[in-house]
Amino acid sequence: MSFTLKYKSINEKREIPNENYTIKDLLDELELSAQTVVSKQNGELVIEDTVINDNDEIHLVQIIYGG
Amino acid sequence: MQCSKCGNPKVIYKRQQSGQLLCKECFIDSIEKKVIKTVKKEKLLDKGDKVLVALSGGKDSVTTLEILNTFRERNIIDICALTVDEGIANYRQDGVDIAIRHAERLGIQHKVVSLKEDYGISLDEIMQRDNHKGSCTYCGVFRRTIINKAAREMHATKIATGHNLDDEVQAIMMNYLEGNINNLGKLGAKTESDAEEFTVKIKPLREIPEREIGLYVVAKDLEVHFDSCPYAMQSFRGEISEVINQLTQKHPTIKYSTLRGYDKIKPVMKKEFKTDYAHGRCERCGEPSSNRLCKACSFLEELGV
């Protein structure tokens, strides 16, 4: 079970570590705040509580940089 | 899980402060309605206004332009735009290009003014000086002066900036913590000066959290410059922003309550700390100034430009 992560220059396959693994769990792993990114699952905007499924493409867009 | 407004199961946003869930269409609609409500409540626009949008190409200014353009489409106002090129290598040009494309897309009058061309020095060059006062100090002063001059040249009756809820709350806290009561009294949705050379400034996005503006531009597929100013981390604003965002995690309404509290005490502050406006003129550039030189020209003299 894996998904593709796209974030800035990252474009990689990652394993889904457990059942009900959410985008929020992924953000915590990447040490990213949900306040600074928006998430797309297979091209559609979703909230961070969304569960990541096998073969999903998860695209994280950083929207807040400061300054 | 479904949209609290229309029942659509495709939810894209959960408002922390209210628990409201929104689908893409209802989210976009809620932002546009809220901005229009601010415009009406604060009387930011008058019929026939020519509004100069300070357009950096970032999410806030592009959103300001996009929503104010709905008033232009209804022939209530006219719009022009100004982009200031501060001269920051590997950062500013992308924003300038995006701003040009938005102005072309909407068919509005647009001007790009560069710090280097106008003052003979870029922000990068200033930051190489040993005696500089910090990037944001210069950037803020020069930008304000350039925008004011352009507003007069373009015959604008209002200047619209993209200040959002986070910006406004940061400014309230920064000025309060620094004891800068003069600047504290100048915040708000609409700022007018007695000096007729200064065009009225309006902040239509003042009640929209920064994150919601970011989501709005992504949801609407608007082209914006998402990048970090290389000088941003040097600022006091950055530190304040971090503290407020930490507090917001446990207290989701704290930005709104700070803003509401400020709006209540502002009339008292304005009355108690009323300052005389600048009757004099800057010896060097002729802009209104209470001192021999305006702030921008005093910086230029210090820098030997």
- For the residues B129-154, what does the mean pLDDT come to? 93
Chain A: give the shortest CA distance to residue B28, in Å. 13
Assign A66 a pLDDT band (cuts: 50, 70, 90): low
For an interface test with A, the pick among B218, B222, B248 (most A C-beta atoms closer than 10 Å) comes out as: B218
In this structure, of A47-56, A58-67, B95-104, B218-227, the range with the lowest mean pLDDT score is A58-67
Average pLDDT, chain B: 94
Q: Is A22 left (phi over 0), alpha (psi -120 to 50) or beta?
A: beta
Residues 6+ apart with CB under 8 A from B283: B292, B293, B297
The single-letter code of the amino acid at B39 is V
Average pLDDT of the segment spanning B67-88: 97
Q: Which pair of tokens denotes residue B141?
A: 């002063």
Cβ distance A65 to B227 less than 8 Å, yes or no, reads yes
Closest approach of A20 to chain B, Cα-based (Å) = 16
Domain boundaries along the sequence of chain B: 28-303
ipTM: 0.94
Residue B277 binned pLDDT confidence (cut-offs 50, 70, 90): low
Residue B273's pLDDT is what?
Answer: 82
pTM to 2 decimal places: 0.94
B11 contacts in chain A (CB < 8 Å) = 46-47
- Using a CB-CB cut-off of 8 Å, the residues of chain B touching A59 are none
Picking from A36, A45, A64, the nearest residue to B24 by CB comes out as A45
Asked if residue A67 has pLDDT above 60, the reply is no
> In Å, how far is B196's CA from the nearest CA of chain A?
31
A vs B, Cβ pairs < 8 A, gives 54
Helix B254-272 and helix B236-250: axis angle, to 10°?
130
pLDDT category, B234, cuts 50, 70, 90?
Answer: low
Q: Residue range B148-163: average pLDDT?
A: 97
- CATH architecture of the domain with residue range B28-303: 3-Layer(aba) Sandwich (3.40)
What average pLDDT does the structure give for chain A? 94
Backbone angles phi, psi at B10, to 5 degrees: -85, 80
